[in-house]
Structure 1
Amino acid sequence: MVRALTLVGMVWASATVSAAPDADDYRRSLGLREAWSGLTRDVAFPAQWRGDGHFYYRHTVEGGFAFVLGSPDSAQLQPAFDAARLAQGLSAASGQDVAPLRLPFSQFAYVAEGDNPNGAIRFSLDSTYATWRCTLTDYLCALVTRAGRPRGFGVVRDLRVPADNAPRRSPDGQWEAYAEGFNVVLRHVADGKVTPLTRDGRGDAFYDPETLAWSPDSRHIALYRVTPGFPRLVTRVESAPAGQLQPVLQTQLYPKPGDAVDIEQPVLFDVAGNRKPIDTPLVSNPYSLSPIQWRSDSSSFSMEYVARGFQTVRVVAVDAGTGKAHAAVEEKADTFVYADRTFLHDVGGQGRELLWISERDGWRHLYLIDGTDGSVRQQITQGDWVVRDVLHVDDTQRRIWFSASGMDAGQDPYQRQLFSVNFDGRNLTRLTHAPADHDVAISPDGRYYIDVYSRPDMPPVASLHRIDGTPVRELARGDISRLLAAGWKAPESFVAKGRDGRTDIWGMVVRPGDYDPKRRYPVVENIYAGPHDAFVPKTFWPFGYHSGGDKQIGMQALADLGFIVVQIDGMGTAHRSKAFHDVAWKNLGDSGFPDRIAWHKALAAKDRSYDISGGVGIYGASAGGQSTLGALELHPELYTVGVAMAGCFDNRMDKISWNEQWMGWPVDARYARASGVTHAAKLRGDLLLVVGEQDSNVDPASTAQVVDALIKAGKDFDLLNVPGGEHSVGRSTGPIDYVTRRQFDFFVRHLMRAPTPRWNAEKKGQP
């Protein structure tokens, strides 16, 4: 594409587009992922360990990808399995063509098959997230189904499905416990004598056999008594089901914010049939309780309690002899405790000392807690940086290995480095040093680790180390020479101050392959602002796509049509300070836009090719779809064109878990203030809504309600409803992804102001 440039005043502006992208441009652009993935060698993915001390990982090879298996004791690598037979077995079971060097997963786990602890593998498909299991002897593959009763987003049991009532045998083999109706009974294995443990179970307060846990000494049983929550069902019409003409009705158990959840309360019995009353005020208002965990000496059991509203999390311990409960750990916040990222390690397994992660000082750090009274014995780490993940704990050495980020002044604060430290906070040791993101996997025995480190502009290096950091050998070093020869250019980082004028906001810039700094390019932002993570890639990113929780569109593919495409982590996202994160609290409509707008303006002031004079385009899926709509409604001075896919546009319509964590409970007026439906009449600019008819993650009625509000407000917009489409509405429906092409078309027409090819004249309407 060629643009003439004119200087108007002191602002460079693009003139008429002389060459709009044609079908060949689309073909090249949308073929990048396939082309690039074949041009690299030994680009390693994060490593994993088997229980027997072998490691394995995926890497690029001629023709695609291969999985290799190795051992610290040998420099030889071997195939992790027979890829040809696995592809054949998965093809037969799934009905989809699977190629041996294009297996549709990047990680897997070895699982037992018969007497062989590594006789099968288990994995989730990249496209559908369905879990499969394949044996490694006859290579038979099957979908994995969960035994027992499913729960809607983990908090409401589906009482239409029977519970898994297989007898739970005691560790000493003398007893079995199981449910009879709504009650629980104990059977003596030797003589078959059955003793009822409860008689007061009923439909609205039953004893759940799936939660039953034996003490290690076989003297006690603990389980939950359940008061069922509200069984909300979302109903969807599948309008074009495969293999038949008539539509099909689909239903899904789908709790939403404010709905009553299952109330679980612990109960305790001994094998003589005696019930020991438990004080329950410490777990009186549960959003959730974790599975019961017995201490190794059988003296007590514990459970992690998340209070409704996510402002209190406790580890509650119950004495087996008395039933007395106490808070072994208590975490409170005025905003939220990030319950999905808590960490608990019971030192020695007896509940006397606990390792815990807390943000109580404003940063995410490790603490040693006295498990008998919940007091802090030692803050282990401290400083203006964050502990990301605990990777290994050695109780004997009293030492912890963990990843952390933000310790290096002037460097990317999201890059992870590996450290170790004593329980008393002494001897903090840095084990990785390269200025990159380090993805570390530690062996089960704690003797070795594999470090795969990279940046978006640097291919991965995988190396094996002893646990003290001593290098053993390099495993793989990515070769991207052919990729560079083909014209690939690394994305760029850009840092600007946020809304407060002080905080650094980090983003990524992707330019067209034929970028000319003398030209002007319209700008498109790829947005996902969910508070549960940060989203700008920090690792090598060779194939033109960035996969997060939801399928993202290829930023490079879009850029190559004549755009500059960016991604930004604004305030409200994770892995920075607690204050940075708290911006999202009851404020998801913010989406970090004040920071994003400041970032765009800062880059435009520095780079004259970065043209935001005609507005910025924006696209996103799921929570990114919500943010996209919010951009056009609340910030039309900058954002003028948007593609919102599978959006949770009103948090009251979405799943309970994610939304109550960030928007709070009870449901209040702030939910409405964050709703794209509420602000529909404020829409300016051009909007394309995309929704999958069978979205099981976000109720598709959320999109329909936006459509209804826009119609009532007299607004023009485009809508693409994909029959049978799931949450990943961009699934391939032809030679390319149809939804991707429609999205690209939308930006070419409305942001570039250029015509698109006449697709209906093309074969099958595709590039």
Structure 2
Amino acid sequence: MRSRIGTSRLHGALVCGLLAMGMASSAIAAGQALTAQDYAQAERYMAYNTAPLIDHMVRSVHWLDGTHFWYVDHDASGDHYLRMDATNGQAAPLLDQAKLAAALAKAGKKDIKADKLGITDYRVATDGRDDIEVGGKHYLCNLHAAGECVDKSTLVKSDKEPGVLSPDRKQEAFIRNWNLWVRDVASGKETQLTTDGVENFGYATDNAGWKHTDNAILAWSQDSKQIATFQQDQRKTGDMYLVTTKLGHPELQSWKYPLAGDEHVTMIERVIIDVPAHKVVRLKMQPDQHRSSLCDDVSCGEDGGWDDVKWAPDGKTLAFVSTSRDHKHETFRVADAKSGEVRTVFNEDVATYYESGNGAVNWRYLPEANEAIWFSERNDWGNLYLYDLGNGQPKHAITTGEGNVTEVLKVDAKTRTVWFRGVGRTPGVNPYYQQFWKVSLDGGEPVLLTPEPADHTITLSEDGKYFVDSYSTTTNAPITVLRDANDGHTMATVAKADIKRLLATGWQPPEQIVVKARDGKTDLYGLLFKPTHFDSGRKYPIVDYVYPGPQTGSVRTFGFAPAEGDHQALAELGFVVVALDGMGTPWRSKAFHDAWYGQTGDNTLPDQVTAIKQLGQRYPWIDLDRVGMWGHSGGGNTTADAMFRYPDFFKVGWAESGNHDNREYEDDWDEKWQGLLVTNKDGSTNYDNQANQLIAKNLKGKLMLAHGSIDDNVPPYSTLLVVDALIKANKDFDLLILPNQHHGYAADTPYVTRRRWDYFVQYLAGDTPPKDYALKPWPWR
């Protein structure tokens, strides 16, 4: 390990060199030849260079029990793993990092360093050893003596199917040959639970078309004795095909991938499995759509679980929500776990689409009180309602008024208290700032537990007594504190981020901007990035980074970030870069989100155009004659759409992996946002308004289309439809196909990023990029 003195001296020398590079870059002017030094100046502001320069930025913590959590605190000397006692706010080392690094090295973990361990999971095993996950592997470590770690996979002989742990952590359920099995964690003994699973009609299978994994989708009962899952029927679902690039015969990849408008799509038959008895109870109901009330998959949450299913604490009943194919009809049902009888409790029908929250489903099952918490946007805002499970009628609203409940984090049935994240509920505060609240199930005014006007990241203890709050804005680095969940008062400071080392490089935060939407009334929020060598006497071309939604927006966060993608890096090359959340994106009112339902070709473009024009009027240094756009996936779709729909406004576009016609994409996503496919008598359809190939003939500017050749999320045929239309229209364009790359570009990302910089430098700014500049390889350690 380097000493603090040695690190400080190295940092000082680095800063001097970087400042010299910054002064050299300040001479950049339109029409000049940029150098490798100019690109190196830009690369300084990529996340892999900026993030390590922030000290004490703690955002995520991991609760070990009701009173202890662990976290990583970083400074110039490396990463420090700490454990805090919530009862007194005292922090101590989680473990002996030097001893752990040595033990992991002996266990075969290569290139491990004590100051950069990369621990992704930590808990204490039942035998007292440390159970640690590093680099995707779990190790059992005894650090009390000399230090010894053992790869857990060598202790118990088992196959490699990924499993879902039971709540008592003694069993894990997994899929093998289309059937569901359980494995005893301690002994490795395996037991088959189902026997009638067959190809494309298997149990718990994870296949949404756009993703297809070996994970099991299920929900364990709290006593670890029952499993709720499904038998997924894809026997009539259409196939998708891709081939790899290699010398010789290519490898054919095929899997089930239903398309919007297909007659036959994936269906699920719900079952409950009694694990000790190996008994399968099939619920007495018709097959359900492979849908979620939250997203475009039956499994949406970060933990990969089954979101729309909730067990009663006693395991006797199971509540679940069925979603119609078009997401307009939701049905709340309760099943008897022993008999399989199903009772419909209530429904919610909407004109466009229903969503149960942001990040996680917000409904809850409260069988002890014979009640349920239900989320609805029936008053144009996302609020919570209490329902009577006996008669299926709403009792009252739990929350009311403007602003959204975005995610329910905990419900205490005994105290009848709900803790939730929310946005837009505090007047005068940025409507995208997450804040934390509690409210009684019986109604009343919610209590704001995080009053600071900032974006709050919350981690609540399992018992709901404490929470860790990391709050920040784009200009104020995170302050992380431990708070009392009853009234929100601060109990201890966990960390205060220090950005002095980052500021020494010349780094600057983006500017928050507010403009009017297409209607001239609604406020839109975004971020604007300028070069650190900004000259107000110059005219800068503007690049619009876009992701249209509808499930998310262009702005990754309104909290603090050392880098928002490569926005600041691109700005360094002589651009103004903007990201704006237009109408049709989430987190605001239902009407705002519904702005272009059924017209997904809109892609927020009317808002992007009017926003850029407003910025051009506001800032004389923005050149409205040189406007570019780029985006990935939905943003790639939008970029091509912009070049075709507004060919005189957008001059240069870089479109990555776009879903250019959603009839070529998986069924659930666009059937939710565009509606079910309707073909008219003349052959036209309600999907024509979103098909980029139909308007490709309008292209005037410079357009690059990029796609991975084995993209199994948005298959490359979507881009090839546009390519074919451009060829037939005799239009010049550029095409970049990335062999053997998926929806994300993995090892090709640095190359694609550099090529994107080159494209805007050459065609939008009119400069000459340096030849073959090489960005740092990704991913980084």
- Give TM-score, length-normalised by structure 1: 0.80
The yes-or-no answer on 1:361 pairing with 2:379 is yes
Q: How does 1:97-116 map to 2 (within 5 A)?
A: 108-110=120-122, 115=127
Partners of 2:607 and 2:481 lie apart in 1 by 38
CA distance 1:500–1:88, shift in 2 (3 Å) = farther
The yes-or-no answer on 1:280 pairing with 2:285 is yes
Question: What SS does the corresponding residue of 1:594 show, helix, strand or coil?
Answer: helix
Aligned to 1:178: 193
Q: Which moved more, 1:684-693 or 1:526-535?
A: 526-535
Aligned to 1:75: 90
Question: What SS does the corresponding residue of 2:178 show, helix, strand or coil?
Answer: coil
RMSD: 4.0
Aligned to 1:263: 267
CA contact (8 A) 2:180 2:193 kept: no
User: How big is the shift at 1:499?
Assistant: 1.0
The yes-or-no answer on 1:606 pairing with 2:622 is no
Partners of 2:109 and 2:703 lie apart in 1 by 36
Aligned to 1:755: 768
User: How big is the shift at 1:118?
Assistant: 6.1
Partners of 2:771 and 2:204 lie apart in 1 by 60
Aligned to 1:36: 50
Unaligned runs of 5+ in 2: 1-21, 143-148, 154-158, 165-173, 185-190, 206-215, 293-297, 299-305, 680-684
Partners of 2:650 and 2:419 lie apart in 1 by 44
- Give TM-score, length-normalised by structure 2: 0.79
Question: What SS does the corresponding residue of 2:477 show, helix, strand or coil?
Answer: strand
CA contact (8 A) 2:181 2:194 kept: yes
CA contact (8 A) 1:133 1:144 kept: no
CA distance 1:663–1:557, shift in 2 (3 Å) = same
CA contact (8 A) 2:626 2:765 kept: no
The yes-or-no answer on 1:249 pairing with 2:260 is no
CA distance 1:741–1:320, shift in 2 (3 Å) = closer
Partners of 2:268 and 2:490 lie apart in 1 by 49
CA distance 1:122–1:336, shift in 2 (3 Å) = farther
Alignment partner for residue 689 of structure 2, among 673, 688, 699? 673
Question: Structure 1, residues 688-733: CA drift from partner, whole Å, max 9, x if none?
Answer: 112122323221222222222221221111111122222222x345
CA distance 1:113–1:539, shift in 2 (3 Å) = farther
Aligned to 2:759: 746
Question: What SS does the corresponding residue of 2:769 show, helix, strand or coil?
Answer: coil
CA distance 1:298–1:749, shift in 2 (3 Å) = closer
Identity fraction in percent? 31
Question: What SS does the corresponding residue of 1:600 show, helix, strand or coil?
Answer: helix
User: How big is the shift at 1:431?
Assistant: 1.3
Amino acid at match of 1:678: L
CA contact (8 A) 2:58 2:480 kept: yes
Aligned to 2:301: none
Question: Structure 1, residues 398-448: CA drift from partner, whole Å, max 9, x if none?
Answer: 111111111233331100111111112214211111111011111111111
Alignment partner for residue 589 of structure 1, among 580, 587, 601? 601
The yes-or-no answer on 1:536 pairing with 2:542 is no
CA contact (8 A) 1:521 1:610 kept: yes
CA distance 1:381–1:23, shift in 2 (3 Å) = same
Question: What SS does the corresponding residue of 2:193 show, helix, strand or coil?
Answer: strand
Q: How does 1:480-559 map to 2 (within 5 A)?
A: 480-546=499-565, 554-559=566-571
CA contact (8 A) 1:86 1:139 kept: no
Alignment partner for residue 683 of structure 1, among 683, 695, 699? 699
CA contact (8 A) 1:338 1:661 kept: no
The yes-or-no answer on 1:405 pairing with 2:423 is yes
Aligned to 1:56: 70
Question: What SS does the corresponding residue of 2:606 show, helix, strand or coil?
Answer: helix
Amino acid at match of 1:493: Q
User: How big is the shift at 1:268?
Assistant: 7.8
CA contact (8 A) 1:749 1:756 kept: yes
User: How big is the shift at 1:462?
Assistant: 0.3
Question: Structure 1, residues 219-254: CA drift from partner, whole Å, max 9, x if none?
Answer: 9998756544434433322214xxx77643333443
Q: Which moved more, 1:739-748 or 1:316-325?
A: 316-325
Alignment partner for residue 402 of structure 2, among 369, 381, 384? 384
Question: What SS does the corresponding residue of 2:427 show, helix, strand or coil?
Answer: coil
Q: Which moved more, 1:53-62 or 1:601-610?
A: 53-62
Aligned to 2:352: 335
Aligned to 2:578: 566
Amino acid at match of 1:263: M
Alignment partner for residue 704 of structure 1, among 688, 703, 720? 720
Partners of 2:281 and 2:510 lie apart in 1 by 62
Partners of 2:534 and 2:688 lie apart in 1 by 43
Question: Structure 1, residues 439-492: CA drift from partner, whole Å, max 9, x if none?
Answer: 111111111111100011110000011112121111111111232232111110
Unaligned runs of 5+ in 1: 3-14, 124-130, 149-157, 169-175, 183-201, 547-553
Question: Structure 1, residues 236-294: CA drift from partner, whole Å, max 9, x if none?
Answer: 22214xxx77643333443332343343344689999999996636x665646757654
Aligned to 1:655: 666
Aligned to 1:308: 325
Partners of 1:133 and 1:683 lie apart in 2 by 53
CA contact (8 A) 2:32 2:768 kept: no
Partners of 1:102 and 1:565 lie apart in 2 by 33
Partners of 2:550 and 2:79 lie apart in 1 by 33
Amino acid at match of 2:257: Y
Question: What SS does the corresponding residue of 1:633 show, helix, strand or coil?
Answer: helix
User: How big is the shift at 1:164?
Assistant: 2.3
CA distance 1:211–1:472, shift in 2 (3 Å) = closer
Partners of 2:259 and 2:139 lie apart in 1 by 35
Partners of 1:203 and 1:178 lie apart in 2 by 17
CA contact (8 A) 1:91 1:98 kept: no
Partners of 1:508 and 1:686 lie apart in 2 by 25
Partners of 1:275 and 1:647 lie apart in 2 by 42
Q: Which moved more, 1:133-142 or 1:423-432?
A: 133-142
CA distance 1:203–1:502, shift in 2 (3 Å) = same
CA contact (8 A) 2:270 2:282 kept: no
Tell me the matched-pair count.
692
Alignment partner for residue 457 of structure 1, among 451, 475, 480? 475
CA contact (8 A) 1:229 1:261 kept: no
